[in-house]
Amino acid sequence: MTAYGSAARAFAELVHRIPADAWERPGLGEWDVRALVGHASRSLTTVLTYLQTRAEREDVTSAAQYYRLVTPEALGIDPADVAERGRQAGRDLGADPAAAVDDLVAQTLEAAAAAGDPLISVIGGQGIRLRNYLPTRVFELVVHSLDIARALDLSFTPPPDALEEALVLAAQVAADGQGVPVLMALTGREPLPPSFSIV
C-alpha cells in the first residue's frame, strides 16, 4: 500500500507538469499524451472499481502470476480494445486532467486504505487479494510515468519504494521463461534484443 501511494502521488505530480499544449503530442504507440495518461490513470480507476467486487475463490496468488494469467493476451482481448480504453480514459479526464487525476488519487488511496485485504474480482473474473493486485498497479504507474516523461522530455525519477517494487515484480515475471537473458543483461554479459519486454 505504501509503494502504491508513492507511485500514485508521483504520477499525479508528473501530470501537473505536462504543458497545456502537449496533450495531443505523441505519447506511446498509437496513444497521444492524453490517452497515455488516461491509460495510466486506469491503475487508479480499476482499483476503485474492483474494490466494489468480491470473488469466491483465489485464482491468482501473486502479482507475477497476474501477469501470466490475467492479461489481454492471455484472455484473448483484442489489443485495439485496450488501446480504445486508454483513449476513453483520457477523454474521461475532462478539461482539467491534472485535477481529475488528483481526485482519483485521493479517492483511490482512501478506499484502498480502508478496504483491508479483500479477495477482489479482476479482469476475466479472476479472484486475487488486494495485496497481490496493488503491486501490478505500482508497476503500471511507474512504467507509464516514465513513458510520459520520456514522451515530453521531462525529468522524472520514480519514488524509491515504488521503483523497487516495480523492479522486483519485473524480475519475478521475467524468471518464468526469460530469467536467463535478463540476468545476463543485468550483469553486463549480454545485451537484450531490441524491443525485449517481459509483459
In a domain, 194, yes or no: no
Write out the three cell numbers for 42. Answer: 486506469
Q: State pLDDT tens for residues 96-148.
A: 999 999 999 999 999 999 999 999 999 889 999 999 999 999 999 999 999 99
Annotate 36-90 with DSSP letters as a single string.
HHHHHHHHHHHHHHHTT---SS--B-SHHHHHHHSSHHHHT--HHHHHHHHHHHH
Grid cell at residue 49: 472499481
195 located within any domain: no
Does the structure show a pLDDT above 90 at 49? Answer: yes
Number of compact structural domains in the chain = 1
Q: Rounded mean pLDDT of the chain?
A: 94
Q: What is the CATH number of the domain that holds 179?
A: 1.20.120
In-domain check, residue 42: yes
Of 45, 20, 46, residue with least CA distance to 33: 20
CB-CB neighbours of 175 under 10 Å: 14
Looking at the predicted structure, is the pLDDT value of residue 20 above 90?
A: yes
Give 180's pLDDT tier (boundaries 50, 70, 90): very high
**What's the domain range around 43?**
3-187
Report yes or no on 199 lying in a domain: no
**pTM exceeds 0.75 for this model:** yes
